[in-house]
Amino acid sequence: MYRFLFTQLLSRIDPEDAHHLTVGALRLLSTAPVVKKAVHRRLAPRDPALRVQAFGVHFPGPFGLAAGFDKDAGCVEAMSALGFGHVEVGTITAHAQPGNARPRLFRLPRERAVINRMGFNNAGAGAAARALGRTRGVPAVVGVNIGKTKVVPEAEAAADYVASAKELAPLADYLVVNVSSPNTPGLRNLQAVELLRPLLSAVKEVADGTPKRTPLLVKIAPDLADEDVDAVADLALELGLDGIIATNTTIGREGVSSTEAGGLSGRPLKARSLAVLRRLRARVGDRLTLVSVGGVEDVDDVWERLLAGATLVQGYTGLIYHGPLWAYRIHRGLARRMRRHGVSDLREIVGRTAG
Ligand SMILES: Cc1cc2nc3c(=O)[nH]c(=O)nc-3n(C[C@H](O)[C@H](O)[C@H](O)COP(=O)(O)O)c2cc1C
């Protein structure tokens, strides 16, 4: 059904128009409480074996929606109803900004990939806070991913992140500092430990000050050298962060023919994303929660990430190619596989193939 819709309609229209059409439909779903609850009852993970606890938060299943789909936190409940165990909204910046000029989103169907150079188009932290304040009709675990406003110079980056954190940390189940998008000039320089330390320390102070103490994670790029992955992991431990999300999109073009500028996601990212996860696990063991994202397409991939040490797994590009039942099917397949292997709790398998 989705394959038909995709080939006959969605793949024929501009990718960003298709995205807005989809988000519009999901927003509509969010405004219909009866339908929303009925969809949630049918598709959200309910098998107790799938439940995960990480940094003090209860997740109904390990597979969630990665940042970038719901930039303005407009369809959190709809995505939760469709079966995502958590929804990471954003990237949100302190100030509203339009992002880069269109076209800025490109499908690569043969490679099951996407290139985007959206550039953090979003309505700003205030608008996102209002949107989040309106939700919670159906249960949803919400991560809030924050980034730097484009016009803010690097020297003032920490203050800009702090402004977003103050607005959004109290509304988030967890907060993510995104320093890894390739589409904001200079952003990824902030991954260098000497710049990252003061930035994360400042945001952590805000996150620690909320009534519930909001867990804090950092999201890193797949293009970091292995030693830099280790350095960020050591810093996260030193500062007492709750976890690391790996990875964002890549500026690499291995395995694809397109030379469009931007970040590449989907299948071509799979191997590097998994390698970064393994590297992180070897470095930090179970002292941090690792969230694996990049090229996850099906239950085999999720299983592999769990075994390699991820407690949570995310995806975005797969949604474009597999459609709205993607998360539901992954959780259903995972529950079946657990039963087949005699696994009753995901903690039994997380990190089992890690060194
Ligand atoms: C169109 C698009 C927009 C994205 N926007 C963001 C973003 O705003 N913030 C962020 O942290 N990651 C963003 N990402 C990266 C995803 O969250 C994810 O890390 C990456 O796409 C790899 O996962 P995937 O292969 O499952 O798509 C975006 C990805 C895509 C495809």
The region that residue 345 occupies, defined by phi over 0 for left and psi between -120 and 50 for alpha, beta otherwise, is beta
- Name, in order, each residue with C-beta under 8 angstroms of 17's C-beta and a sequence gap of 6 or more: none
Please say whether the beta carbons of 207 and 214 come within 8 A: yes
Mean pLDDT check: name the lowest of 9-13, 287-291, 323-327.
9-13
Cβ neighbourhood burial of 86 (10 Å; 0-12, 13-18, 19+): buried
Per-residue pLDDT, averaged over 167-181, amounts to 95
Q: Is 80 exceeded by the pLDDT of residue 3?
A: no
pLDDT of residue 79: 93
DSSP-derived secondary structure for 105-166: EEEEGGGTEEEE-----B--HHHHHHHHHH--SS---EEEEE---TTS-GGGHHHHHHHHHH
Which residue has the least CA distance to atom 22 on ligand 1? 294
Per-residue pLDDT, averaged over 62-69, amounts to 98
Tokens of 9: 């309609």
What confidence tens digit (pLDDT) does each residue in 313-355 have?
999 999 999 999 999 999 999 999 999 999 999 999 999 987 6
Nearest atom in ligand 1 to the alpha carbon of residue 91 is 8
Domains observed in the chain:
1-349 (3.20.20.70)
Q: pLDDT confidence of 22, banded at 50, 70, 90?
A: confident
The residue count for the chain = 355
Which residue has the least CA distance to atom 13 on ligand 1? 68
Q: Is 90 exceeded by the pLDDT of residue 80?
A: yes
Nearest atom in ligand 1 to the alpha carbon of residue 88 is 17
CB of 321 shorter than 6 A to ligand 1 = no
Q: pLDDT confidence of 25, banded at 50, 70, 90?
A: confident
Question: Which one has a higher pLDDT value, 23 or 336?
Answer: 336
CB of 196 shorter than 6 A to ligand 1 = no
pLDDT of residue 190: 81
126 marked among binding-site residues: no
CA dihedral 204, 194, 163, 314 (to 10 degrees): -70
Mean pLDDT check: name the lowest of 134-138, 228-232, 251-255, 288-292.
134-138
Counting residues of the chain whose pLDDT is more than 90, the rounded percentage is: 80
Neighbours of 57 (CB within 10 A): 20
User: Which residue among 80, 180, 181, 265 is the active-site one?
Assistant: 181
Distance CA 133, CA 135 (A): 6
Q: How far is the CA of 88 from the centre of ligand 1 (A)?
A: 10
What is the pLDDT of the chain when averaged over all its residues? 93
CB of 145 shorter than 6 A to ligand 1 = yes
Q: Is the bond preceding residue 247 a cis peptide, omega within 30 degrees? A: yes
- CA-to-CA dists, residue 116 to 155, 203, 251, 259, 326, angstroms: 27, 27, 10, 12, 21
| pTM to 2 decimal places | 0.97
